[in-house]
Structure 1
Amino acid sequence: MLWSLLFISLIGSAQNDDGTALCNTQLLPLNRTKTSQKSNYTDKNQLIYSSERATDGNMTTCAITGTESDPWWRIDLLRVYNISYITIYNTVAYNTDISGAQIHIGSSSENNGITNSICKEITNFKQNEWNNFTCITTMSGRYITVFYPGNKPLILCEVMIYGTITAPSSARNFKSTAQNETSITLQWNKVNDYISFILQFNGREIDIAAPDGDGPVTYTVSSLTAGTTYTFALFSVFENVRSSGVSITAVTAKRPNYVLVMNVEFELLTQLSDSDLQSVLEEVFRQYGLSPQLSFKVLRREIRKD
Protein backbone atom coordinates (compact mmCIF):
# COMPACT_ATOMS: atom_id res chain seq x y z
CA MET A 1 0.00 0.00 0.00
CA LEU A 2 2.81 2.45 0.86
CA TRP A 3 5.56 2.40 -1.73
CA SER A 4 7.39 5.71 -1.56
CA LEU A 5 10.52 6.44 0.48
CA LEU A 6 10.93 9.78 2.18
CA PHE A 7 14.13 11.84 2.34
CA ILE A 8 13.33 15.31 3.63
CA SER A 9 14.71 18.00 5.91
CA LEU A 10 12.53 20.59 7.59
CA ILE A 11 13.70 24.19 7.83
CA GLY A 12 11.71 27.14 9.13
CA SER A 13 8.90 27.81 11.55
CA ALA A 14 5.39 26.43 11.68
CA GLN A 15 2.50 28.31 10.12
CA ASN A 16 -1.27 28.10 10.12
CA ASP A 17 -3.05 26.75 7.08
CA ASP A 18 -3.72 30.40 6.14
CA GLY A 19 0.01 31.18 6.16
CA THR A 20 0.16 33.16 9.41
CA ALA A 21 2.81 32.43 11.99
CA LEU A 22 1.96 30.55 15.19
CA CYS A 23 3.18 31.93 18.52
CA ASN A 24 2.93 31.29 22.24
CA THR A 25 2.34 27.57 21.90
CA GLN A 26 4.44 24.51 22.54
CA LEU A 27 4.65 21.02 21.15
CA LEU A 28 2.72 18.83 23.55
CA PRO A 29 4.51 15.73 24.86
CA LEU A 30 2.94 12.66 23.25
CA ASN A 31 5.28 9.98 24.57
CA ARG A 32 2.94 9.08 27.45
CA THR A 33 -0.33 9.36 25.56
CA LYS A 34 -2.56 6.54 24.31
CA THR A 35 -3.55 6.14 20.68
CA SER A 36 -6.11 3.90 19.00
CA GLN A 37 -7.78 3.47 15.62
CA LYS A 38 -10.72 1.59 14.14
CA SER A 39 -8.57 -1.28 12.84
CA ASN A 40 -4.97 -2.05 11.87
CA TYR A 41 -3.77 -2.71 8.34
CA THR A 42 -1.29 -5.62 8.14
CA ASP A 43 0.93 -6.02 5.04
CA LYS A 44 2.08 -9.22 3.37
CA ASN A 45 5.12 -9.34 5.65
CA GLN A 46 2.80 -9.28 8.69
CA LEU A 47 3.87 -5.76 9.61
CA ILE A 48 1.09 -4.13 11.61
CA TYR A 49 0.48 -0.43 10.89
CA SER A 50 -0.84 0.36 14.36
CA SER A 51 -2.05 3.70 15.71
CA GLU A 52 1.07 4.66 17.71
CA ARG A 53 3.13 4.84 14.51
CA ALA A 54 1.53 8.26 13.91
CA THR A 55 3.23 9.70 17.01
CA ASP A 56 6.58 7.85 17.02
CA GLY A 57 8.57 10.81 15.64
CA ASN A 58 9.36 8.96 12.39
CA MET A 59 7.69 10.42 9.30
CA THR A 60 8.41 7.29 7.25
CA THR A 61 6.33 5.01 9.49
CA CYS A 62 2.58 5.44 9.27
CA ALA A 63 -0.56 4.37 11.05
CA ILE A 64 -3.02 2.78 8.61
CA THR A 65 -6.50 1.42 9.18
CA GLY A 66 -8.11 -1.33 7.18
CA THR A 67 -10.25 -0.49 4.17
CA GLU A 68 -13.65 -0.07 5.79
CA SER A 69 -16.40 2.46 6.28
CA ASP A 70 -15.77 5.59 8.33
CA PRO A 71 -12.32 4.86 9.78
CA TRP A 72 -10.95 6.94 12.65
CA TRP A 73 -7.75 7.53 14.60
CA ARG A 74 -7.78 8.90 18.16
CA ILE A 75 -5.24 10.12 20.71
CA ASP A 76 -5.95 10.33 24.42
CA LEU A 77 -3.78 13.09 25.90
CA LEU A 78 -4.69 11.80 29.40
CA ARG A 79 -5.58 15.32 30.57
CA VAL A 80 -7.17 18.48 29.20
CA TYR A 81 -5.09 20.87 27.10
CA ASN A 82 -5.86 24.12 25.32
CA ILE A 83 -5.29 23.08 21.73
CA SER A 84 -3.72 25.66 19.42
CA TYR A 85 -3.36 23.59 16.27
CA ILE A 86 -2.75 20.08 14.92
CA THR A 87 -0.21 19.36 12.22
CA ILE A 88 -0.29 16.22 10.05
CA TYR A 89 2.32 14.84 7.66
CA ASN A 90 1.78 12.15 5.00
CA THR A 91 4.13 10.83 2.37
CA VAL A 92 3.26 10.79 -1.31
CA ALA A 93 1.56 7.44 -1.74
CA TYR A 94 -1.78 5.90 -2.63
CA ASN A 95 -4.60 7.02 -0.29
CA THR A 96 -2.40 9.43 1.69
CA ASP A 97 -4.44 12.48 0.62
CA ILE A 98 -6.93 12.68 3.51
CA SER A 99 -8.94 15.64 2.23
CA GLY A 100 -12.47 15.25 3.57
CA ALA A 101 -11.38 14.04 7.02
CA GLN A 102 -12.53 15.83 10.16
CA ILE A 103 -10.63 16.72 13.32
CA HIS A 104 -12.68 16.49 16.53
CA ILE A 105 -11.54 17.83 19.93
CA GLY A 106 -13.18 17.40 23.32
CA SER A 107 -13.20 15.57 26.61
CA SER A 108 -15.70 12.84 25.79
CA SER A 109 -14.58 9.37 24.71
CA GLU A 110 -18.09 8.54 23.49
CA ASN A 111 -18.14 7.08 19.98
CA ASN A 112 -14.32 7.25 19.96
CA GLY A 113 -14.41 11.04 20.30
CA ILE A 114 -16.40 11.58 17.11
CA THR A 115 -19.23 13.16 19.10
CA ASN A 116 -16.87 15.94 20.25
CA SER A 117 -16.97 19.26 18.43
CA ILE A 118 -15.33 19.58 15.01
CA CYS A 119 -12.18 21.66 15.09
CA LYS A 120 -11.51 21.53 11.36
CA GLU A 121 -12.63 19.83 8.17
CA ILE A 122 -9.54 18.98 6.15
CA THR A 123 -9.43 20.37 2.62
CA ASN A 124 -6.63 20.66 0.08
CA PHE A 125 -4.36 18.28 2.00
CA LYS A 126 -0.80 18.41 0.71
CA GLN A 127 1.34 15.29 0.67
CA ASN A 128 5.02 15.49 1.55
CA GLU A 129 4.31 18.64 3.61
CA TRP A 130 3.24 19.47 7.11
CA ASN A 131 -0.41 20.51 7.11
CA ASN A 132 -1.37 22.76 10.03
CA PHE A 133 -5.00 22.89 11.14
CA THR A 134 -6.22 25.59 13.53
CA CYS A 135 -9.66 25.49 15.12
CA ILE A 136 -12.07 28.31 14.32
CA THR A 137 -12.29 29.06 18.05
CA THR A 138 -10.03 28.08 20.94
CA MET A 139 -10.81 24.51 21.94
CA SER A 140 -9.84 22.46 24.97
CA GLY A 141 -9.96 18.73 25.31
CA ARG A 142 -8.41 15.45 26.27
CA TYR A 143 -9.24 13.55 23.08
CA ILE A 144 -8.36 14.41 19.48
CA THR A 145 -9.95 12.26 16.79
CA VAL A 146 -9.32 12.25 13.04
CA PHE A 147 -12.50 10.90 11.44
CA TYR A 148 -12.54 9.99 7.74
CA PRO A 149 -16.08 9.53 6.37
CA GLY A 150 -16.24 7.10 3.48
CA ASN A 151 -14.75 3.75 2.57
CA LYS A 152 -11.03 4.46 2.29
CA PRO A 153 -8.29 3.57 4.76
CA LEU A 154 -7.14 6.40 7.02
CA ILE A 155 -3.38 6.96 6.77
CA LEU A 156 -1.45 9.20 9.18
CA CYS A 157 2.34 9.15 8.96
CA GLU A 158 2.97 11.70 11.71
CA VAL A 159 0.78 13.84 13.93
CA MET A 160 1.99 16.65 16.17
CA ILE A 161 -0.16 18.69 18.52
CA TYR A 162 0.56 22.19 19.76
CA GLY A 163 -1.12 23.93 22.63
CA THR A 164 -0.81 25.20 26.16
CA ILE A 165 -0.79 23.10 29.29
CA THR A 166 -3.65 23.81 31.66
CA ALA A 167 -3.18 23.47 35.41
CA PRO A 168 -4.10 19.99 36.66
CA SER A 169 -6.97 19.42 39.05
CA SER A 170 -6.23 19.70 42.74
CA ALA A 171 -6.41 16.56 44.83
CA ARG A 172 -9.67 15.87 46.62
CA ASN A 173 -10.37 14.74 50.19
CA PHE A 174 -7.08 16.06 51.55
CA LYS A 175 -7.11 15.31 55.29
CA SER A 176 -5.15 14.17 58.33
CA THR A 177 -5.85 10.56 59.27
CA ALA A 178 -3.49 9.98 62.21
CA GLN A 179 -0.99 11.78 64.41
CA ASN A 180 1.26 11.25 67.38
CA GLU A 181 3.75 13.45 69.20
CA THR A 182 6.24 13.60 66.28
CA SER A 183 4.34 12.73 63.09
CA ILE A 184 1.16 13.42 61.11
CA THR A 185 -0.24 11.08 58.45
CA LEU A 186 -1.95 12.76 55.49
CA GLN A 187 -4.24 11.23 52.88
CA TRP A 188 -5.85 12.40 49.62
CA ASN A 189 -7.40 10.99 46.46
CA LYS A 190 -5.16 10.11 43.54
CA VAL A 191 -5.79 12.26 40.43
CA ASN A 192 -4.47 9.85 37.76
CA ASP A 193 -1.36 7.81 36.92
CA TYR A 194 0.52 10.82 35.56
CA ILE A 195 -0.11 13.47 38.20
CA SER A 196 2.54 13.82 40.93
CA PHE A 197 2.32 16.04 44.00
CA ILE A 198 4.23 18.67 45.97
CA LEU A 199 3.59 18.96 49.71
CA GLN A 200 4.54 22.25 51.37
CA PHE A 201 4.89 22.97 55.09
CA ASN A 202 7.23 25.02 57.29
CA GLY A 203 9.04 26.38 54.23
CA ARG A 204 9.79 22.88 52.93
CA GLU A 205 8.68 21.20 49.70
CA ILE A 206 8.40 17.43 49.37
CA ASP A 207 8.02 15.79 45.93
CA ILE A 208 5.64 12.84 45.97
CA ALA A 209 5.43 10.62 42.88
CA ALA A 210 2.16 9.35 41.46
CA PRO A 211 1.59 5.99 43.20
CA ASP A 212 0.57 2.74 41.59
CA GLY A 213 -2.97 1.47 42.00
CA ASP A 214 -6.27 3.27 42.34
CA GLY A 215 -6.45 3.78 46.10
CA PRO A 216 -5.84 6.98 48.04
CA VAL A 217 -2.36 8.44 48.49
CA THR A 218 -0.95 8.29 52.04
CA TYR A 219 2.09 10.19 53.26
CA THR A 220 3.49 10.50 56.79
CA VAL A 221 5.38 13.64 57.79
CA SER A 222 7.79 12.87 60.63
CA SER A 223 10.28 14.67 62.92
CA LEU A 224 7.65 17.15 64.08
CA THR A 225 7.27 18.90 67.42
CA ALA A 226 4.69 17.67 69.94
CA GLY A 227 1.61 19.79 70.53
CA THR A 228 2.22 21.99 67.47
CA THR A 229 -0.18 23.14 64.76
CA TYR A 230 1.07 22.70 61.18
CA THR A 231 -0.38 23.99 57.89
CA PHE A 232 0.05 21.67 54.90
CA ALA A 233 -0.48 22.78 51.27
CA LEU A 234 -0.81 20.12 48.56
CA PHE A 235 -0.36 20.80 44.81
CA SER A 236 -1.00 18.47 41.89
CA VAL A 237 1.78 18.69 39.27
CA PHE A 238 1.91 17.80 35.58
CA GLU A 239 4.76 18.82 33.26
CA ASN A 240 5.97 21.28 35.95
CA VAL A 241 2.58 23.03 36.04
CA ARG A 242 0.93 23.14 39.47
CA SER A 243 -2.70 23.17 40.45
CA SER A 244 -4.14 25.93 42.61
CA GLY A 245 -3.64 23.64 45.59
CA VAL A 246 -5.53 22.71 48.74
CA SER A 247 -4.50 23.18 52.36
CA ILE A 248 -5.35 21.87 55.82
CA THR A 249 -4.10 22.34 59.37
CA ALA A 250 -3.27 19.47 61.70
CA VAL A 251 -1.90 19.24 65.23
CA THR A 252 0.61 16.78 66.66
CA ALA A 253 -0.32 15.12 69.92
CA LYS A 254 0.89 16.69 73.14
CA ARG A 255 3.68 14.93 74.94
CA PRO A 256 2.10 13.47 78.12
CA ASN A 257 3.46 14.12 81.61
CA TYR A 258 2.93 11.44 84.21
CA VAL A 259 3.23 11.48 88.01
CA LEU A 260 2.45 8.06 89.37
CA VAL A 261 3.24 8.43 93.06
CA MET A 262 4.13 11.57 94.89
CA ASN A 263 4.74 11.91 98.61
CA VAL A 264 4.51 15.51 99.78
CA GLU A 265 5.30 16.69 103.26
CA PHE A 266 4.29 20.19 104.30
CA GLU A 267 5.36 22.08 107.37
CA LEU A 268 2.84 24.83 107.92
CA LEU A 269 2.31 27.46 110.56
CA THR A 270 -1.48 27.03 110.35
CA GLN A 271 -3.72 24.05 109.79
CA LEU A 272 -5.18 23.77 106.27
CA SER A 273 -8.27 21.99 105.08
CA ASP A 274 -8.09 19.29 102.41
CA SER A 275 -9.31 21.75 99.75
CA ASP A 276 -6.65 24.26 100.80
CA LEU A 277 -3.99 21.57 100.51
CA GLN A 278 -5.19 20.67 97.01
CA SER A 279 -4.91 24.32 95.95
CA VAL A 280 -1.33 24.44 97.23
CA LEU A 281 -0.42 21.27 95.31
CA GLU A 282 -2.01 22.56 92.09
CA GLU A 283 0.11 25.71 92.33
CA VAL A 284 3.25 23.62 92.78
CA PHE A 285 2.36 21.63 89.62
CA ARG A 286 1.79 24.81 87.62
CA GLN A 287 5.19 26.18 88.60
CA TYR A 288 6.80 23.10 87.03
CA GLY A 289 4.67 23.22 83.89
CA LEU A 290 2.57 20.20 84.80
CA SER A 291 -1.15 19.73 84.38
CA PRO A 292 -2.87 20.39 87.74
CA GLN A 293 -5.13 17.36 87.39
CA LEU A 294 -4.64 15.29 90.53
CA SER A 295 -6.22 13.40 93.33
CA PHE A 296 -4.70 13.11 96.78
CA LYS A 297 -5.25 11.71 100.20
CA VAL A 298 -4.02 13.10 103.51
CA LEU A 299 -2.31 10.22 105.30
CA ARG A 300 -1.29 11.91 108.50
CA ARG A 301 -1.59 15.21 110.28
CA GLU A 302 0.69 16.20 113.12
CA ILE A 303 0.69 19.26 115.32
CA ARG A 304 4.13 20.24 116.52
CA LYS A 305 4.57 22.15 119.76
CA ASP A 306 7.83 24.02 120.01
Structure 2
Amino acid sequence: MALSSGTGLNVALDKTSSQTSTAAGGDASLAVDGNTDTDYQAGSCTQTQDEADPTWRVDLGQLFMVVKVVIFNRQDCCPERLNPFNVHIGDSDQVSKNPMCGGDHQIDVTHPSVDIACDGMEGRYVGVSLPGPSRVLSLCEVQVFFGRLRFK
Protein backbone atom coordinates (compact mmCIF):
# COMPACT_ATOMS: atom_id res chain seq x y z
CA MET A 1 0.00 0.00 0.00
CA ALA A 2 1.33 3.44 -0.92
CA LEU A 3 0.22 6.15 1.49
CA SER A 4 -0.87 9.69 0.80
CA SER A 5 -2.98 12.59 2.02
CA GLY A 6 -2.46 15.52 -0.30
CA THR A 7 0.50 17.77 -0.90
CA GLY A 8 0.57 19.65 2.40
CA LEU A 9 2.61 17.18 4.46
CA ASN A 10 6.39 16.95 4.03
CA VAL A 11 6.98 13.24 4.65
CA ALA A 12 10.79 13.61 4.62
CA LEU A 13 10.86 15.80 7.73
CA ASP A 14 13.15 14.32 10.41
CA LYS A 15 13.52 11.01 8.55
CA THR A 16 16.80 9.07 8.36
CA SER A 17 19.09 10.37 5.63
CA SER A 18 22.59 9.67 4.36
CA GLN A 19 25.06 10.86 1.75
CA THR A 20 28.17 9.48 0.08
CA SER A 21 30.51 11.59 2.25
CA THR A 22 30.42 14.52 4.65
CA ALA A 23 32.55 17.66 4.59
CA ALA A 24 32.71 20.80 6.73
CA GLY A 25 30.06 19.58 9.18
CA GLY A 26 27.40 19.31 6.46
CA ASP A 27 25.65 16.21 7.82
CA ALA A 28 22.96 14.57 5.65
CA SER A 29 20.30 15.09 8.33
CA LEU A 30 20.47 18.87 7.87
CA ALA A 31 18.45 18.53 4.64
CA VAL A 32 15.44 17.12 6.51
CA ASP A 33 15.52 19.23 9.69
CA GLY A 34 12.71 21.60 8.65
CA ASN A 35 15.06 24.59 8.39
CA THR A 36 15.03 26.05 4.86
CA ASP A 37 17.72 28.67 5.53
CA THR A 38 19.93 28.76 2.44
CA ASP A 39 23.00 30.21 4.19
CA TYR A 40 25.47 27.41 4.94
CA GLN A 41 26.81 29.30 7.96
CA ALA A 42 23.34 29.06 9.55
CA GLY A 43 23.99 25.32 9.99
CA SER A 44 21.13 24.01 7.86
CA CYS A 45 22.87 22.69 4.74
CA THR A 46 24.53 19.41 3.85
CA GLN A 47 27.84 19.07 2.06
CA THR A 48 29.77 16.19 0.55
CA GLN A 49 33.43 16.08 -0.26
CA ASP A 50 34.51 16.85 -3.80
CA GLU A 51 33.92 13.47 -5.46
CA ALA A 52 32.54 11.70 -8.51
CA ASP A 53 28.75 11.30 -8.59
CA PRO A 54 27.90 12.37 -5.01
CA THR A 55 24.48 11.36 -3.72
CA TRP A 56 22.14 12.13 -0.82
CA ARG A 57 19.03 10.12 0.15
CA VAL A 58 16.21 10.03 2.66
CA ASP A 59 14.44 6.89 3.87
CA LEU A 60 10.73 7.73 4.13
CA GLY A 61 10.19 4.57 6.19
CA GLN A 62 7.41 3.24 3.96
CA LEU A 63 6.16 3.38 0.39
CA PHE A 64 4.74 6.70 -0.81
CA MET A 65 3.41 8.00 -4.12
CA VAL A 66 5.60 11.07 -4.50
CA VAL A 67 4.04 13.95 -6.41
CA LYS A 68 6.60 16.66 -5.71
CA VAL A 69 10.11 17.13 -4.37
CA VAL A 70 11.21 20.63 -3.34
CA ILE A 71 14.94 21.30 -3.11
CA PHE A 72 16.42 24.33 -1.34
CA ASN A 73 19.84 25.32 -2.68
CA ARG A 74 22.65 27.33 -1.12
CA GLN A 75 22.43 31.06 -1.77
CA ASP A 76 25.41 32.31 0.28
CA CYS A 77 27.92 30.84 -2.16
CA CYS A 78 28.29 28.57 -5.14
CA PRO A 79 24.61 27.94 -6.00
CA GLU A 80 25.69 26.76 -9.47
CA ARG A 81 27.28 23.61 -7.98
CA LEU A 82 23.87 21.91 -7.89
CA ASN A 83 23.46 22.04 -11.70
CA PRO A 84 22.73 19.60 -13.22
CA PHE A 85 21.14 17.26 -10.69
CA ASN A 86 18.88 14.19 -10.72
CA VAL A 87 16.06 13.11 -8.41
CA HIS A 88 15.58 9.35 -7.89
CA ILE A 89 12.61 7.62 -6.29
CA GLY A 90 12.27 3.90 -5.58
CA ASP A 91 12.70 0.99 -3.20
CA SER A 92 16.50 0.62 -3.33
CA ASP A 93 18.69 2.30 -0.74
CA GLN A 94 21.21 2.76 -3.57
CA VAL A 95 20.16 6.09 -5.09
CA SER A 96 21.37 5.44 -8.64
CA LYS A 97 19.47 2.14 -8.86
CA ASN A 98 16.12 3.90 -8.50
CA PRO A 99 14.22 5.43 -11.44
CA MET A 100 14.75 9.12 -12.11
CA CYS A 101 11.99 11.65 -11.74
CA GLY A 102 12.49 13.34 -15.11
CA GLY A 103 15.96 13.75 -16.55
CA ASP A 104 18.71 16.18 -15.64
CA HIS A 105 17.25 19.09 -13.68
CA GLN A 106 18.54 22.65 -13.38
CA ILE A 107 17.83 25.24 -10.70
CA ASP A 108 17.73 28.95 -11.43
CA VAL A 109 20.63 29.99 -9.19
CA THR A 110 18.88 33.26 -8.34
CA HIS A 111 16.01 31.33 -6.69
CA PRO A 112 16.41 29.55 -3.35
CA SER A 113 14.32 26.51 -4.29
CA VAL A 114 12.98 24.44 -7.14
CA ASP A 115 9.88 22.22 -7.33
CA ILE A 116 10.28 18.91 -9.16
CA ALA A 117 6.98 17.28 -10.20
CA CYS A 118 7.21 13.48 -9.91
CA ASP A 119 3.74 12.39 -11.04
CA GLY A 120 3.05 9.91 -8.25
CA MET A 121 6.24 7.86 -8.57
CA GLU A 122 6.29 5.18 -5.88
CA GLY A 123 9.13 4.56 -3.51
CA ARG A 124 10.48 4.42 0.00
CA TYR A 125 13.70 6.29 -0.85
CA VAL A 126 14.09 9.71 -2.43
CA GLY A 127 17.58 10.66 -3.54
CA VAL A 128 19.45 13.50 -5.18
CA SER A 129 22.54 12.84 -7.28
CA LEU A 130 25.03 15.00 -9.13
CA PRO A 131 26.29 13.22 -12.24
CA GLY A 132 29.92 13.63 -13.18
CA PRO A 133 33.44 13.81 -11.80
CA SER A 134 34.60 16.30 -9.18
CA ARG A 135 31.24 17.47 -7.80
CA VAL A 136 30.21 18.78 -4.36
CA LEU A 137 26.61 18.18 -3.29
CA SER A 138 25.13 20.69 -0.87
CA LEU A 139 21.41 20.75 -0.02
CA CYS A 140 19.77 23.15 2.41
CA GLU A 141 16.45 21.28 2.60
CA VAL A 142 14.66 18.52 0.71
CA GLN A 143 10.90 18.28 1.08
CA VAL A 144 8.88 15.34 -0.24
CA PHE A 145 5.12 15.58 -0.82
CA PHE A 146 2.82 12.73 -1.69
CA GLY A 147 -0.49 12.19 -3.48
CA ARG A 148 -3.60 10.11 -2.89
CA LEU A 149 -3.93 6.73 -1.19
CA ARG A 150 -3.45 3.68 -3.39
CA PHE A 151 -3.73 0.03 -2.40
CA LYS A 152 -1.62 -2.65 -4.02
**TM-score, length-normalised on structure 2?**
0.80
How many Å separate the matches in 2 of 1:76 and 1:99?
24
Residue 145 (structure 1) aligned to one of 117, 127, 131: 127
Q: Where do residues 146-185 of structure 1 align in structure 2 (5 Å cutoff)?
A: 146-150=128-132, 151-164=134-147, 166=149
Distance in 2 (CA, whole Å) between partners of 1:128 and 1:89 is 9
Does structure 2 conserve the Cα–Cα contact (< 8 Å) formed by 1:50 and 1:63?
yes
- One of 79, 82, 92 as aligned partner of 1:108: 92
- State the match for 1:36 in structure 2: 18
SS at match of 1:162: strand
The Cα of 1:166 is off from its aligned counterpart by 4.2
Return the offset for 1:53: 0.5
Output one character per residue of 1:153-173: Cα deviation in whole Å (capped at 9) or x when no partner.
Answer: 10101111111364789xxxx
Contact 2:55 2:95 (C-alpha < 8 Å) held by counterparts:
no
Q: Does 1:83 align with 2:60?
A: no
| Whole-angstrom CA distance in 1 between matches of 2:98 and 2:142 | 19
CA distance in 2, matches of 1:166, 1:39: 35
List per-residue Cα deviations over 1:78-124 (Å, max 9, x = no partner). 10001011011123243333121100111122xx2211111032124
**Amino acid of the structure 1 residue aligned with 2:112:** E
Q: Does the 8 A contact of 2:47 with 2:139 survive in 1?
A: yes
Match of residue 13 from structure 1: none
SS in 1 for 2:147: strand
Contact 2:7–2:67 (CA<8 Å) still a contact in 1? yes
Tell me which residue corresponds to 1:49.
26
Quote the Cα distance in structure 1 between the aligned partners of 2:147 and 2:98.
19
Larger radius of gyration: 1
User: 1:52-67 to 2 correspondence within 5 Å?
Assistant: 52-60=29-37, 61-67=44-50
Measure the CA separation in 2 of the matches of 1:127 and 1:78: 33
Alpha-carbon contact 2:46-2:140 (below 8 Å) kept? yes
**Contact 1:95–1:152 at 8 Å: present in 2 too?**
no
Q: TM-score, normalised by structure 1?
A: 0.42
Gaps of 5+ in 1: 1-23, 43-47, 170-306
Change (3 A) 1:53 1:124: closer
Give the partner amino acid of 1:148. L
**Percent of aligned pairs with the same residue?**
28
C-alpha root-mean-square deviation of aligned residues, in Å? 2.1
> In 2, distance between residues paired with 1:106 and 1:113?
8
Instruction: Provide the C-alpha distance between the structure 1 equivalents of 2:110 and 2:85, rounded to a whole number of angstroms.
Output: 14
Q: Post-superposition shift, 1:63?
A: 0.6
Distance change >3 Å, CA 147–CA 99, structure 1 → 2: same
CA contact (8 A) 2:72 2:142 kept: yes
Give the match for residue 282 of structure 1: none
